[in-house]
Structure 1
Amino acid sequence: MTSTSITRRSAALWMLAGLSACGGGGDNDSETPNPGGGDTGGGDPGTGNPGGGTTITGTYSLQPGAATNGEALADANRMGAQGYALVTPLAITSGLSVVAGDFYLSDTAHAGHKLEYLLQPDEASLAGFLAQLNRQGAGGYALKSSMVFPSSPTDIRHLYVKNTSRSDQFSYEALTTDPQTPQAVAEELNRQGARGFRFIGPMIVGGAMFSLYVKRSDGVTYQYAVDAQGSAYSAADRPGLQTLLDAKGADGWLVRGSVGKGSPLSMSFMSIYEKSSVQSGAVQYAVEALSANASLNDMARDMNTQASKGFFWLFQQVTSNGQISTISVKNGGTLVHALAGVSFP
């Protein structure tokens, strides 16, 4: 039987500390990204919002999972030249076997656009990483994610993506302050968001743990709401999760995931929601059951069914009763996830 646990390639592919239950790449005792939450990736239906106009729709393409840095970069550029943006790798487990695939997306908001990708080596320090980020951002390349493969587990690379049909530039800031309460987290996020810096997620580079923020040269600003959770799970079951997201979405809030603060034996949990200054209308959510026997092809088919209706895959999430649900978003603007980054920059 195929496991219902969809992970980033747990054999060490695409490792980036973020709002994920998968661990690795930066978890420490002071901050555990979304323990039990199960977030595993992100999509991106475009920077614009329909606002009652034409619904943005899309098409997902499942490609064989790359096995090396060279393969990953070649595949991403080949698909990018066809207008497909890399969304995320996903893997399923069946017994002792792991089956991995790379998911790409084209949508009507980016018809005719082309994507270019490049890889940069890991840096030994936070200062060096920030210099790399801002150097690439000045050239129009946005950080997509960090990646590492089982064949070379110490060779961490940073993947960047550029939309060659746009002239955006990106600048980055890193904060090492690590606020612990929902109020303090919200204050830091909103200070940055008011300056146009969007929260990417927690990372670790050169032993330094920090929160990474990105600013695009489009003048968009961001608001954040941080809600305390009673446990590692944001909802008791699937209907409860749908109700929760519907209520937040009605006010234009995009779910970004959950974080845990504190030591492993004494941890508090909180959910993070985001609203951009260009958000128009409600954010709609589709919360669906994930079959225990779902293959990657099954998931691609389900993603395409939803994308034909304007709902774009965001992540899987576990509720406290053990159910795994797939969350898709309509009218959510540019979706971003700390593991997978943006798809269309």
Structure 2
Amino acid sequence: MEQTLSEPFQKLLPILKAAGLDKINHISELSGGLSNHNYRISTPTAEYVFRLNADAADSFCSRTQERFYWRHLANAKLAPELLWVSEDERYYLSAFIKSDVIEGDIIEANIENYGQSRKHSLPWQALEGLCSAADFLQGQDSLHHLPLAFEHDPLNDSHPNQAHRLLLTLLLQLRDLPKGPYGISITEQWQEYHRKMLTFMAPSPIEGESSQIGGDWYERATQLLGIQADIQRWTDTLAGCLLQAQFCHRDLNPHNLLLKDKRLYCIDFEYATASHPLCELATVLATHALTPLQQHFLVQQYLVKHPYLTAEAIFAVPAAIEMYWVLACYWALLMAARQTDPSGHGEYIAWFDFFWPQIS
């Protein structure tokens, strides 16, 4: 059926053949990724995900480390199986998991619209929502009448959706995995990103001016320079409650989770490593449209008797959310700096502008 494929998809056929797929029924592009390109491949016998790795993302991750943790989680039945890797590490082929819908209403997480629901059965990605540290604290303040901790789940089966239960199960499963041979602290990650940003800001030795891409990029880099004291305070807070690093996916946003048979699977392991346990919790809180009560439940149940955190860790949750958005801004700016065409540069500048307002 090769003649039915459009020209861009035709170019994938030799690579797919090298991966062992020579009978292709259909190819379609999968949405959701901010850097890499993913395609759904249908053959007469099975379906796969074919991934083209972005060159710009190579500077952020070790492909060897990424594959280590991908296979690590696949063996634990928490990720689809990685089936093939090209010799140049540019292409991956993995098993395709068709994600189920989450049953129930999707509740507006922000305080102004709290209680308003949309009655649908929707894919997990429909739970996407933005939550800043200020939003989180405002939501928790609205629950001042509740006990500090729950002995049992206060969100019974009549609650509009059960995302909090599924997320807690996944968070605890990930926490209990061996952390592997790699690791980076939140402070080290910030310092690494900051050093790279300063490199791009440095004057060109040839032209005597900024080595990177114009005023829009430089203006946003200056914004990050202006909050360094805040970042230092947030990273110090996080370091103060840490006993030991644990395995962290570090990007558990709704687009990197698949729901199948009432359990969640992870995809995209470019940033997976051993790190601060609050990385996982903060990402979930920052990117999922959860009600304040769902957030409260997740925080309490994830932190209760956590083996790698002090009892004061609950007070560091806002700092962890702040650092999630800080690192997202650094990432967007560094990705913009590595783009070779203006449209790609503009796309990542737009992502920076999307992330920046979430920082207090």
TM-score range, shorter-chain basis?
Answer: under 0.3
| TM-score, length-scaled by structure 1 | 0.24
**Larger Cα-atom Rg:** 2
Which is richer in helix? 2
Give TM-score, length-normalised by structure 2: 0.23
